[in-house]
Amino acid sequence: MIIVQQKPLKEIFEMTKNLKKLLIVGCDGCSSVIQVGGERQANILKSLLEINRKVKGEKDPSAKAISILRQCDRQIVTTALDPIIKDYDAIVSLSCGVGVQTIADLFQSTLIIPAIDTKFLGMHDTKADKFHEMCTACGECILFETGGVCPLTRCAKSLLNGPCGGQANGRCEVGGWKNDCAWILIFNRLKERNRLDLFTKFRLPKDYRVSRHPRELSFKAENEEATEA
Amino acid sequence: MTKEAYGELMKQINSGKFVFTGELEPVKTTNFDEVIEGARILKNHVAAINITDNPTAFGYMNALMPSYMIQEKAGVEAVYQMTTRDRNRLALISDVLAAGALGIKNILALTGDHTTVGDTPQAKPVFDLDSATFVYMLRKIIDEGLDLNNNEIENPPKFNIGIAAAPNADPLEPELLKIQRKVELGVDFIQTQCVYSVEQAKNFLKAASYLKTPILIGIAPFKSISMMKWMVKFVPGIRVPEEIQETLHKAKKTGGKQAVYEANIEIFGEMLRGVRSTTNAAGIHAMAIGFEWIIPKIIERAGL
Ligand code: SF4
Ligand code: SF4
């Protein structure tokens, strides 16, 4: 899931200052699941914005809040926003950066304001009530070799051949030996499975072309190639 | 297994002599004097001196120039430390080729401490390679005269390659397997982080003996009591036996700074003697940044 966090209100107030006719758009995808940017949060933000705008004496303090299924889907965004967008001067989005850019791309003449900071691809540890980054979308998954623990993301140095000399008692030097060392997790899992050969295996320097920005992907081309062959 | 020696350090290791290496730290300066002075102090006691590369991620003078300068001006061989933290593979090969041109004989291939522990924690960490992939790159350059993409290098450089090891790593097994990975790629010697007892050295040497690679045991006397306290408190994996702590504290109380130095000479001289006479270590890597003069005294105390 994409882990997001609402921006400080001060920042949102600043970006929306003196704008009339605001549409606050929540996203029922990841943003809503982690209770940061769904319908409920869109309504709360609407109320806060209205109060602030009233206090500041703005001419048109009222705003409207809606939420749509997924802001990263062009089809869904078009269907939801096309009929109403002309009534608004600006859109405040509660989705990740993908959703914000999808709207920005589709409605280029409307101002779009991100109310969310996109943090990382992660997992919710409900027990500790914490989110952990798990994958950096490197483009070439090696989880099979590493016992289901991603060293590119969970090792602070993204080492392919860890651990480094900074681990102590299974903890990582980064952050003062509080977090798990990913390479010790990998070691423990592979040892349990009797696959230390995978641990000791030397991994060649990574080809970073597969993670070079901006990336694109088309299944169409691949399928065509497959039929030709 | 004897490895080809490209410099004095490896020649001495191959000859079976118990060798010493020292360590110097170019700091945030444009002045070479201190490093050269330190090298002169150590010269007659060590086979080579490591020059650190932005240690603990502090932005200092680059390590290549001082490595060259101590060879030129002090006449002592350098172990040029290179971390993969600050340079991608392009920048690494540039420096490796320059090191070859400047007559450097040894490279210590390191991953490097993370940027966030240093004096510029906002920096973007690189880690394009790690110490293992860096060893792999060095081997290709040295043995085949090729870069990572098999492009030919004109007049390829020759180096002996060293790596670091954490003798007190807990758990130790993954540390050993990690070293094994690099040894299988081809490394010439290992220098360890510091140990604080003959026992610690012995345990590691025993566990690592299957790697059949010369190991220089790291020692680091304490410049001050506060430095020792800090290390004990904040650096996990550093285990300073109670007796050593007590002896140094007592020395400080009774005789001040000078007494602490003397206690250091006693403690580490004794440790050195123990390592020399009861283990199969290839030598000692002695780190005493800023008080290099103590190393010759420790060696003398050890009666070596
Ligand atoms: S290796 Fe890690 S970063 Fe790459 S795809 Fe797999 S989980 Fe994601
Ligand atoms: S301690 Fe472990 S997780 Fe942290 S940087 Fe080193 S290998 Fe990676």
- State the Cα–Cα distance between residues A221 and A92, nearest whole angstrom: 36
Predicted pLDDT at B1: 57
Please tell me if the CB atom of residue A173 comes closer than 6 angstroms to any atom of ligand 2.
yes
Please tell me if the CB atom of residue A136 comes closer than 6 angstroms to any atom of ligand 1.
yes
pLDDT at A222 over 90: no
Amino acid at position A146, single letter: T
- State the Cα–Cα distance between residues B26 and B59, nearest whole angstrom: 10
Predicted pLDDT at B3: 85
Q: Which residue has the tokens 């293992």?
A: B132
- State the Cα–Cα distance between residues B249 and B253, nearest whole angstrom: 6
Which domains, ranges and CATH numbers included, belong to chain B?
8-302 (3.20.20.220)
Predicted pLDDT at B299: 96
Rounded mean pLDDT, A103-113: 97
Residues 6+ apart with CB under 8 A from B125: A157, B85, B114, B115, B116
- Cα of B247 vs its chain's centroid, Å: 27
- State the Cα–Cα distance between residues B14 and B4, nearest whole angstrom: 9
- Side-chain half-sphere of B176: how many Cα atoms within 13 Å? 16
With bands split at pLDDT 50, 70 and 90, how would you rate the model's confidence at B60? Answer: very high
Helical (H) or strand (E) element with A221? helix A219-228
Predicted pLDDT at B239: 87
User: Is the Cβ–Cβ distance between B21 and B283 less than 8 Å?
Assistant: yes
Residues 6+ apart with CB under 8 A from B18: B276, B281, B282, B283, B284, B304
Predicted pLDDT at B231: 87
Q: Tell me the chain B residues in contact with residue A145 when contact means C-beta distances shorter than 8 Å.
A: none
| Closest by Cα among A105, A71, A70, A107 to A89 | A107
Rounded mean pLDDT, B35-48: 98
Mutate to test the interface with A, among B115, B128, B168, B177 (most CBs of A within 10 A): B177
Rounded mean pLDDT, A100-126: 97
With bands split at pLDDT 50, 70 and 90, how would you rate the model's confidence at B236? Answer: confident
Q: Which two tokens stand for residue B183?
A: 């040894």
User: Is the Cβ–Cβ distance between A210 and A140 less than 8 Å?
Assistant: yes
User: What CA–CA distances, in Å, run from A191 to B76, B81, B91, B176, B184?
Assistant: 45, 33, 36, 14, 20
Please tell me if the CB atom of residue A151 comes closer than 6 angstroms to any atom of ligand 2.
no
With bands split at pLDDT 50, 70 and 90, how would you rate the model's confidence at B287? Answer: very high
Confirm or reject contact between B210 and chain A (CB < 8 A): no
- State the Cα–Cα distance between residues B300 and B100, nearest whole angstrom: 34
CA angle A32, A37, A38 (to 5 degrees): 50
Other CB atoms within a 10 A radius of the CB of residue B209 amount to 12
Taking the CA of residue B6 and the nearest CA in chain A, the distance in Å comes to 26
With bands split at pLDDT 50, 70 and 90, how would you rate the model's confidence at A221? Answer: low
Q: Which residues pair with B22 in a beta bridge?
A: B49
Other CB atoms within a 10 A radius of the CB of residue A5 amount to 14
Classify residue B222 as left (phi > 0), alpha (psi -120 to 50) or beta. Answer: beta
pLDDT in tens, A26-72: 999 999 999 999 999 999 999 999 999 999 999 889 999 999 999 99
pLDDT at A229 over 60: no
Mean pLDDT of chain A: 95
Which domains, ranges and CATH numbers included, belong to chain A?
2-120 (3.40.50.2300), 137-215 (no CATH)
With bands split at pLDDT 50, 70 and 90, how would you rate the model's confidence at B114? Answer: very high
CB contact under 8 A, A159 and B137: no
